[in-house]
A = this chain, B = another copy of it.
Amino acid sequence: MKTLWIFAHPEARSLNASLRDTGVRTLRELGHEVRQSDLYAMGWQPVVGAADFPGRRSGRLRVGAAQQEAYRTGDLGTDIRAEQAKLSWADTVVLHFPLWWFGPPAILKGWFDRVLVQGFAFGVRDALGRTRRYGDGGLAGRRAMVVTSVGARASSFGPRGIHGDIEDILFPVHHGVFWYSGMAALPPFVVYGADRATHADAERYRAQLCRRLRELPQLEPLSFRSEAGGDYDDDLVLRPEIAAGRTGLDVHRVRPGGRRAA
């Protein structure tokens, strides 16, 4: 595998940093190639702004169009193009971050916002002129996995847990970022109770992550529905015979109701 490990934690002595170190070492010991984007260490600038599009000609800024134009003309910043080159190289992406306010830290959200531009990650078309999206796209053929940590207990992120099912909380990343741009989303690796982890807990989590990484090449991805496969109608609504009469994010999985038991 050629793995890009994207890391978004401010502290080099944190539990997450030790998981990243262990993970990268394990992959290399297994013979895989690894490149890294340690966003804090790089001083990654996460804010989309006019400086990203030095060549833009339009008077009124539509961010997506300006990004697409700058991508096409090669005018995106060198920091953005370096990240795109890493993604183009990789066949596997690990997105490693602490879950803050039920999403990625700003520094990582801004990596999505600035790197995954129209024309590169999405908004690409097939030979028939159809938009390649949801199971296809600029990053098609790749696999991607979230590694994240939360302070709370596992039960509170379960199917009926107070914070919402972790699979639903991660839906914007799994389905909205990975699957939308063509990458298969692998089951997330979630560290619970991170705020109270002892040295023994940390050791156990590192061992679990090693096992997960050894299984990675064979790991079955989450099965989301396919746009090109005809699961949605012309209004981009799920066809009535699929998950008939049901709503909720789970209808977009191939086995709705197939989530972990409540």
Q: Which residues of A contact B (CB under 8 A)?
A: 10-11, 13-14, 40, 46-50, 59-65, 98, 100-107, 109-110, 112-113, 116, 134, 151-153, 155-156, 158-165, 168-169, 171-172, 175-177, 195, 227, 232, 235-238, 243, 245-252, 259, 262
Q: Residue of B at shortest CB range from A197?
A: B62
The A contact surface, by secondary structure, is loop
> Contact at B60–A101, with CB atoms within 8 Å?
no
**Chain B residue at smallest Cβ distance from A122:** B101
Select from chain B the residue with minimum beta-carbon distance to A45.
B47
Q: How many copies does the complex hold?
A: 2
- Among the listed B60, B134, B158, which residue makes an inter-chain contact with A237, where contact means beta carbons less than 8 Å apart? B158
Query: Is there contact, CB below 8 Å, between B10 and A195?
Result: no
Q: How far is the CA of A40 from the CA of B49 in the complex (A)?
A: 9
Q: What is the CB-to-nearest-CB distance from A128 to chain B, in angstroms, rounded to a whole number?
A: 19
- Are the C-beta atoms of B48 and A106 separated by less than 8 Å? yes
Contact check, B235 vs A259: say whether CB atoms are below 8 A apart: no
Cβ contact within 8 Å between B61 and A236: no
